[in-house]
């Protein structure tokens, strides 16, 4: 039985999360499918940003300790609110820094080469920024990245096999850093299994949650993960360049931060102005500099929505949306040279669809001009992310029909097949 617009409309009528769409600034006539790169602005995030601006206006420097959200404690307050999204205790999460700064902090803290255990294990499909940081950390410790950074190879250029990762967990590996979800194919790695296998071999392991936070539930504590880090501007919808966050398992509390700074301090001691650091006794120790308060503020409102919607409900609808899109792609686009590059199984598929096509860059340009906002990934990838909080099933149906029209009438051919500066 073919899928129709009526099928989509029926799914929308039964959608328990439909009301949250009105929370966001959705542009009329635009189908936004790029929430896995930058989430849309919500009215609550806007309100909380304006509230923090008002506290600056009202209190001046006293805003650090006064107002509804005192800035001095804001990172801890929001860490507590984020903790349920990653399955952590309140004091194991801190909102701080940027993704790569936090990775540098965590690797500098937990990478302790000793004897023949000198290598870091990663993968060849990881986001480039993580690899840059790992190479940099190896160099700082006096090691050659070409020898001491192990990158697990993919069998198909799209996905990773956990068995291949485990095979590389040798007695030379001191630390493992992997993505929770691969940024291109959207594959979810089995974090529980990988953590168990790493710990059997006395290896610490951490995960980059950038493409999973806000899209799937996590159980970092139950899995025993040592550390994790993530951005908040994708599925969490906290705005461009919003402050990131990190997790440190409480079993590591008391470990001194590798990169100490002003906000690594225990709060009660910070303004004693001593030249000897007394680190915070929880994840707060892994902060470095003064919080970027205005870039943190939208997260206040955004997290309210996640608390009300529930991450389990978000995941349920996300799977329905991506499955509906997969079924439509198979129904409508079989004749146009597309291949699905993401896992089809629910337990392995993240929050976006990954289509491959030799004309991907120009197809993305044509989609944008048709008011469907995709995401291009070189050399031939189109990412489409129907987000549970603000996309509809009818939008998914429409976007596939628009893509079919672009291909059927060769509308993409009027564009050059190369990426824009920001892809």
Residue 397 marked ligand-binding: no
The domain boundary residue, chosen from 307, 333, 365 = 307
363 and 266 assigned to the same domain: no
What would the pLDDT profile of 256-311 be if each residue is shown by its tens digit? Answer: 999 999 999 999 999 999 999 999 999 999 999 999 999 999 999 999 999 999 99
CA dihedral 352, 354, 359, 363 (to 10 degrees): -20
Residue 237 lies in a domain: yes
Residue 229 marked ligand-binding: no
Question: What is the distance between the alpha carbons of residues 386 and 321, in angstroms, rounded to a whole number?
Answer: 6
Contact 112, 258 (CB under 8 A): no
Residue 159 lies in a domain: yes
- Residue 89: partners with Cβ closer than 8 Å, 6 or more residues away: 83, 221, 250
Beta-bridge partner residues of 279: 265
Question: What is the distance between the alpha carbons of residues 246 and 217, in angstroms, rounded to a whole number?
Answer: 16
The domain boundary residue, chosen from 283, 307, 331 = 307
232 and 100 assigned to the same domain: yes
Residue 262 marked ligand-binding: yes
What is the distance of C-alpha 167 from the center of its chain?
A: 26
Q: What is the pTM of this model?
A: 0.97
Residue 71 marked ligand-binding: no
Residue 128 marked ligand-binding: yes
- C-alpha distance across the termini of the chain, in Å: 36
HSE on the CB side for 37, CA within 13 Å? 15
Q: What is the pLDDT of residue 221?
A: 98
Q: What is the CATH number of the domain that holds 291?
A: 3.40.640.10
Residue 296 marked ligand-binding: no
Q: What is the pLDDT of residue 45?
A: 98
Mean pLDDT of the chain: 97
Q: What share of the chain is helix, strand, coil (3-state, %, to 5)?
A: 45, 15, 40
What would the pLDDT profile of 299-349 be if each residue is shown by its tens digit? Answer: 999 999 999 999 999 999 999 999 999 999 999 999 999 999 999 999 999
* Helix H or strand E segment including 128: helix 128-140
Residue 9 clears pLDDT 90, i.e. is over it? yes
Q: What is the pLDDT of residue 235?
A: 98
278 and 262 assigned to the same domain: yes
Residue 290 marked ligand-binding: yes
Q: What is the pLDDT of residue 396?
A: 98
CA angle 10, 14, 15 (to 5 degrees): 115
118 and 151 assigned to the same domain: yes
CA dihedral 299, 342, 120, 109 (to 10 degrees): 10
397 and 368 assigned to the same domain: yes
Task: Kindly state the tokens that stand for 102.
Answer: 């936090």
- Domain boundaries, position 318: 5-32+311-414
Q: What is the pLDDT of residue 417?
A: 86
113 and 260 assigned to the same domain: yes
What is the DSSP code string of 269-308? HHTT--SS--B-SSGGGG--S---HHHHTHHHHHHHHHHH
19 and 86 assigned to the same domain: no
Residue with tokens 């004749």, as numbered in its chain: 335
Q: What is the pLDDT of residue 421?
A: 73
Q: What are phi and psi of 268, to 5 degrees?
A: -70, -20
What would the pLDDT profile of 386-421 be if each residue is shown by its tens digit? Answer: 999 999 999 999 999 999 999 999 999 999 888 777
What would the pLDDT profile of 20-78 be if each residue is shown by its tens digit? Answer: 999 999 999 999 999 999 999 999 999 999 999 999 999 999 999 999 999 999 999 99
Q: How confident is the model at residue 2 (pLDDT cuts 50, 70, 90)?
A: confident
Residue 423 clears pLDDT 90, i.e. is over it? no
With CA atoms as reference, report the closest residue to 120 among 204, 17, 222, 13.
204
- In the DSSP assignment, the letter for residue 235 is T
Residue 214 φ/ψ region, left for φ over 0, alpha for ψ in the -120 to 50 degree band, beta for the rest: left
With CA atoms as reference, report the closest residue to 106 among 267, 295, 287.
287
16 and 137 assigned to the same domain: no
Question: What is the distance between the alpha carbons of residues 153 and 161, in angstroms, rounded to a whole number?
Answer: 9
Task: Kindly state the tokens that stand for 320.
Answer: 């329905």
Residue 58 marked ligand-binding: no
Q: What is the CATH number of the domain that holds 409?
A: 3.90.1150.10
350 and 271 assigned to the same domain: no
Q: How many domains does the chain have?
A: 2
258 and 399 assigned to the same domain: no
Q: How confident is the model at residue 245 (pLDDT cuts 50, 70, 90)?
A: very high
What is the distance of C-alpha 380 from the center of its chain?
A: 22
Residue 423 lies in a domain: no
Q: Give the other-Cβ count within 10 Å of 235's Cβ.
A: 30
Q: What is the pLDDT of residue 420?
A: 79
Tell me the three state secondary structure of residue 81. Answer: helix
Distances (CA, A) of 387 to 236, 253, 317, 321: 11, 35, 9, 8
Task: Kindly state the tokens that stand for 185.
Answer: 């194919």
- Residue 17: partners with Cβ closer than 8 Å, 6 or more residues away: 309, 313, 314, 317, 388, 389
Residue 145 marked ligand-binding: no
Mean pLDDT calculated for residue range 182-200:
98
164 and 222 assigned to the same domain: yes
The domain boundary residue, chosen from 257, 283, 307 = 307
Residue 99 lies in a domain: yes
């Amino acid at each position: 039985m073919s899928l129709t617009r009526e099928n989509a409309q029926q799914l929308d009528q039964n959608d328990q999360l439909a009301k949250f769409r009105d929370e966001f600034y959705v542009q009329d006539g635009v189908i936004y499918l790029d929430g896995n790169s930058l989430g849309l602005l919500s009215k609550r995030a806007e309100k909380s940003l304006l509230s923090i601006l008002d506290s600056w206006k009202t209190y001046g420097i006293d805003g650090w300790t006064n107002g509804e959200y005192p800035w001095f404690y804001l990172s801890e307050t929001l860490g507590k609110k984020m903790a349920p999204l990653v399955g952590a205790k309140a004091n194991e999460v801190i909102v701080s820094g940027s993704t790569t700064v936090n990775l540098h902090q965590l690797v500098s803290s937990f990478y302790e080469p000793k004897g023949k255990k000198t290598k870091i294990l990663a993968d060849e499909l990881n986001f480039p920024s993580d690899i840059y940081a790992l190479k940099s950390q190896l160099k700082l410790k006096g090691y050659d990245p070409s020898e001491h950074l192990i990158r697990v190879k993919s069998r198909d250029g799209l996905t990773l096999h956990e068995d291949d990762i485990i095979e590389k967990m040798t007695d030379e590996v001191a630390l493992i850093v992997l993505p929770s979800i691969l940024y291109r194919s959207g594959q979810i790695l089995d974090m529980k299994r990988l953590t168990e296998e790493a710990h059997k071999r006395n290896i610490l392991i951490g995960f980059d949650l950038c493409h999973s936070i806000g899209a799937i539930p996590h159980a970092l504590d139950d899995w025993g993960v040592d550390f994790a880090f993530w951005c908040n501007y994708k599925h969490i919808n906290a705005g461009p360049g919003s402050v990131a966050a990190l997790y440190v398992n409480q079993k590591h509390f008391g470990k001194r931060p590798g990169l100490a700074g002003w906000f690594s301090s225990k709060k009660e001691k910070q303004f004693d102005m001593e030249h000897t650091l007394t680190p915070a006794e929880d994840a707060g120790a892994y902060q470095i500099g003064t919080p970027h308060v205005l870039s943190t503020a939208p997260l206040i409102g955004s997290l309210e929505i996640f608390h009300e919607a529930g991450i389990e409900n978000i995941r349920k609808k996300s799977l329905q949306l991506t499955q509906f899109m997969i079924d439509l792609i198979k129904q409508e686009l079989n004749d146009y040279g597309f291949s699905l590059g993401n896992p089809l199984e629910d337990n392995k598929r993240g929050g976006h669809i990954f289509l491959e096509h030799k004309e991907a860059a120009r197809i993305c340009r044509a989609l944008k001009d048709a008011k469907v906002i995709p995401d291009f990934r070189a050399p031939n990838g189109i990412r489409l992310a129907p987000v549970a909080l603000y996309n509809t099933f009818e939008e998914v149906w429409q976007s596939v029909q628009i893509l079919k029209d672009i291909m059927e009438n060769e509308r993409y051919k009027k564009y050059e097949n190369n990426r824009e500066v920001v892809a």
